[in-house]
Amino acid sequence: MSPGPNVILVIDHSLSFGLWRIAPTILGNISLLFLVALAAAMGVSAILLAMPALYDGLRLAGAAYLGFLGVKALLRARRSREGVSAGAPAPEAGPLRRYLQALFVSATNLQSVFFLAALFPNFVHRDQPLAPQFVVLFSVLILVVGSVHFAYGLSAGLVQSRFGNRRFRQAVQAGSGIAVLGFGAVVVSSVFRRG
């Protein structure tokens, strides 16, 4: 439930596009989470641990993407503060773009593979059919994540309605840009600290 890059993206999209238009963002996050859970169930985390260079390369690519998103959010906040009119909707306004952006942000969080690889075995009974158990585990995971993300989006919308649209959005864009850059920096420093 603690906010990470996915939650920051949900909040940003909620404020930029409206609460009822964040479904593609949440679906993008959940889609990759499902794939990560499936990979964890299949043992991909063991492969990534056995190939540290591949793991580090994937983490650095994810950090670069987070850096790109952070700079983009800061530039949007700056344009908004300077009173530049947005004019036509930005390219990311489309549902497919929001879905893909969320999918890529979720892909930067490889720690979830290891978290799910550690979590799932505690709830799986090897003496019973595995497929139904995974369906239940995936369903609960998806329901919880979807609910948490929607709650963050709803909370951001409520706060925005109380403090005013433009100033609050500027603050959130700047804050999310800094936070996402921070997440990227933490990933990069952890890769080089390990190596």
What are the tens digits of pLDDT across the range 3-23? 678 888 888 888 888 888 899
Q: What is the pLDDT of residue 87?
A: 42
pLDDT tens, 21-43? 899 999 998 998 888 777 766 66
Question: Structural domain of residue 33, as residue ranges?
Answer: 5-194
Q: How far is CA 40 from CA 54, 100, 112, 158, 163, in A?
A: 16, 22, 9, 36, 42
Residue of 57, 59, 85, 91 lying closest to 72 (CA atoms): 91
Nearest residue to 153 (alpha-carbon basis) of 4, 6, 11? 11
> ∠ CA 108-110-116 to the nearest 5 degrees?
135
Mean pLDDT score, 44-71: 75
* Number of domains composing the chain: 1
Q: Give the pLDDT mean for 83-95.
A: 54
pLDDT range class, residue 111, cuts 50, 70, 90: low
Q: What is the pLDDT of residue 151?
A: 92
Sign of CA dihedral 122, 147, 97, 155: negative
118-168 confidence digits (pLDDT tens): 667 667 777 788 788 888 888 888 898 899 999 988 988 888 777 766 777
130 or 194: whose pLDDT is higher? Answer: 130
14, 58, 88, 150 from 156: Cα distances, Å: 7, 31, 24, 10
Sign of the Cα pseudo-torsion (144, 146, 147, 148, in order): positive
> Does the model's pTM come out above 0.85?
no
Res. 44 pLDDT band, cuts 50 70 90: low
Give the alpha-carbon dihedral of 38, 179, 64, 44, to 10 degrees. Answer: -20
Q: Which CA distances in Å does 57 have to 25, 51, 133?
A: 25, 10, 33
